[in-house]
Structure 1
């Protein structure tokens, strides 16, 4: 592993983002009912650059009173937006998609500044995949059967209503678009609460939505923390649905707050995803790709495959290849073009990673590389050493708990049945991987793993693949058609004898896309 020593902050990095948002007054305001408005209170939060541990700017935070105003705006807009044509909603989403791509560099700089992603990774992955969620939401409107008929019954799919969307700090734009895109496509109005730890890309997204011409009240943004703004949204009687991406603990709190009003709650929560390396796998391909997947986004992904489950007779070979893969990472200043992995996103996460590495050592796990502390030459910033443990068993804390950092554990098995048992031996079930040359065997193993997604032999990411969890990884699904349907109610109309009811399905996706 190499390290990139921090250089002075590039002026474009801070100036391009902060000065733009300051000049427009965005840092002091919330976006409610089509306007940038001052919050009701005086609370503010500092945005910390993870690479320096220094504050770069403050943002205004909303409170429960601001939530009331935003929800009222969304409720007022719902009556019109929910019955707008699917064509018009597709056109709006097309404009949002275009503007995200036009401002891709601005978004990449903001994401790197607010949560520490290597700028190259923000450019190549964080922003493009976020834009894909908007494109797919637009395209899924084409031909979607909002009205169908069954044995004389009309089945109507309608927008659920006002949706509160709570998004995390680790994939800040990606998680916003994964919720906002399908919610708007379905005809819902929304109140977004982005993480107060990575709010800059959310403010830029609100600018995009405004510039795309969204009607007042359809999209609202209230910055704030979970205990105040998140709780107020979750408990609000005029919010029909809450969608949260976050920790399992946060998801439980949201569900508890929402229970009194019996609103729909969709939760995309924690994970401890397995990567089963079958006995016939090509280790030279399977292991380096598995290490890279576990450490993508510095391990700060809920579906990261952080448990590599390998044949015992091939354990030493796996350890050697995994070490070689980790040594190729360049940890350092996220602005450096050589950097592959920047810091973790905040101090709390840095402390969590350090505590879990110490726990693994105390439990007797064997370090293959990494360990506690910062990489050599990096004395400030929330940098963690890419760490791989072996001699791990399923009862260890590092094999059971989500660490959310660059830590991979290797667990050995004696037969495939045991490998499947280990894969399922956590409270989570979000993602999983299986590697093997015999596809029939790989598919059979994939079918036995209890998780919302399973990837065989590292396929390309697809925004059409529904994403969500089993067990304590949550409920509901995002992405693709299933992500759209999450925001729809089902109405049955009996005694409806003909097909004359107009459908809100887009009739010509090509025409809508050309106009956008």
Structure 2
């Protein structure tokens, strides 16, 4: 790739201020794809200065100018879809089919949604004799993860562009190559110089100085709760806005009137999508206690149907997890579950048979789990399901809400009963009867899952300040 050793600052590809690099590893082969430059505080300073200089002009652009700009970005992005899917599959191990059908197109979905929202968004309203104006918040620091990289980049960049903000993006150093392609797309689409800037690096070298920078007005972070706390701490002295989409340990309540065979098989497969590396994955499956063994047998059979293998093979269901670090953590948590007395129905420690190279994890089902076990409390971020029994609806709600997290929830069963229960779940999303995500609906969490909301019109709010012009008159 042409620009992996450079940063995109002020509309130009520029050399980094340091000579530090890091290898980008293909998790299926455990071999480097390439290496990228790693930035530092001086690179952040340059990118923020470019964004600050561009803000004065870009913040004053018209709605139509920004609509035209988004149209151009969408057109170029659409032409590069195959390139984006290919590099995502290589750098984070997603099956090529998933990268094409979900990973790459998710970014396109957020761009299109932001464009549609912008077309009708009310930036001004009257309240009595005052005019209330919604204005761009300023220069934004965007810090994104490796697991759904383009989804998270686009759901931040699109509303920032739409509302007239300028920005500096720090993608994950684990899977940064798609972000380099994304910068090339924005450059080709004609995004004005300084409006979008890219600096690669790690949390200490780039994330911390970006979060603390006095000329950054807002930080939008997606990643682990631990790292989110550090971002908020770094940002606090400059009293900037911080929005966070963090970890999750989402409960999936299977009601006793649901078709267990259909629902459990469906949700086991759903949980394992992207090798279980989704913050909103339904990893805690709550089933009627009296039917635990029946539910476990169904989940185990569904797990055996999952094909773990080479991301390039058409028959592969899930590829490897993203890194040696992630693999090791998942293995430790599987061992912890065994040690605490949970029953392994299928899977367990180690790699699947015949997959000695690559960070592959065996799809694993634990049954007879109590909600105080480590595997029910901590985010595993791998293809590991825990089955927890409940006695009645009130008990299911209690267990579901007994967590520090609150990103998503899932309920399957009779529609009226599921709808009533959804109102009692303390999470930012609740999916009823297999409903998927909705780019127009708000995405974000309660508790340790973060604050603020992304996606659709709700995502615009994070990038806007509110001004009241009093005595405005007629």
Equivalent in the alignment of 1:259: 236
Task: From 243, 249, 252, give the equivalent of 1:272.
Answer: 249
Which structure ranks higher in relative contact order (CA pairs < 8 Å, sequence separation ≥ 6)? 1
CA deviation after TM superposition for structure 1 residue 327, in Å: 1.1
Aligned-partner Cα distance in 2 for 1:388–1:460: 23
Contact 2:439 2:456 in 1 (8 A): yes
Q: Alignment RMSD, CA only?
A: 0.8
Contact 2:141 2:216 in 1 (8 A): yes
Task: From 415, 422, 427, give the equivalent of 1:446.
Answer: 422
Contact 2:292 2:368 in 1 (8 A): no
Equivalent in the alignment of 2:446: 470
Post-superposition CA distance 1:58-88 (Å, at most 9, x none) = 1111110010000000000001101101111
Gaps of 5+ in 1: 1-20, 499-516
TM-score by length of 1: 0.91
Contact 2:218 2:240 in 1 (8 A): yes
Equivalent in the alignment of 2:81: 104
Post-superposition CA distance 1:15-72 (Å, at most 9, x none) = xxxxxx1xx3x01100000000000111101000101111121111111001000000
CA deviation after TM superposition for structure 1 residue 172, in Å: 1.0
Equivalent in the alignment of 2:320: 343
Task: From 276, 289, 307, give the equivalent of 1:330.
Answer: 307
Task: From 326, 336, 355, give the equivalent of 1:359.
Answer: 336
Equivalent in the alignment of 1:282: 259
Matched, 1:222 2:224: no
Post-superposition CA distance 1:201-236 (Å, at most 9, x none) = 000000000000010000000001101100000000
Equivalent in the alignment of 1:149: 126
Aligned-partner Cα distance in 2 for 1:362–1:316: 20
Post-superposition CA distance 1:92-116 (Å, at most 9, x none) = 1122122222111100110011100
Matched, 1:133 2:110: yes
Aligned-partner Cα distance in 1 for 2:84–2:49: 30
Gaps of 5+ in 2: none
CA deviation after TM superposition for structure 1 residue 285, in Å: 2.1
Equivalent pairs, count: 474
Equivalent in the alignment of 1:494: 470
CA deviation after TM superposition for structure 1 residue 343, in Å: 0.1
Equivalent in the alignment of 1:124: 101
SS at match of 2:367: strand
TM-score by length of 2: 0.99
Matched, 1:248 2:225: yes
CA deviation after TM superposition for structure 1 residue 318, in Å: 1.1
Equivalent in the alignment of 1:410: 387
CA deviation after TM superposition for structure 1 residue 485, in Å: 1.2
Aligned-partner Cα distance in 1 for 2:33–2:455: 33
Equivalent in the alignment of 1:459: 435
Listed as ranges, the matches of 1:41-440 within 5 Å are: 41-437=18-414, 439-440=415-416
Contact 2:422 2:430 in 1 (8 A): yes
Aligned-partner Cα distance in 1 for 2:229–2:268: 31
SS at match of 1:491: strand
Runs ≥4 in structure 1, deviation > 2 angstroms? none
SS at match of 1:428: coil
Post-superposition CA distance 1:181-203 (Å, at most 9, x none) = 01111110000000011011000
Q: 218-227 vs 122-131, which deviates more?
A: 122-131
SS at match of 2:61: coil
Equivalent in the alignment of 1:485: 461
Aligned-partner Cα distance in 2 for 1:272–1:100: 33
Contact 2:33 2:91 in 1 (8 A): no
Aligned-partner Cα distance in 2 for 1:461–1:245: 17
Contact 2:406 2:449 in 1 (8 A): yes
Aligned-partner Cα distance in 2 for 1:256–1:60: 26
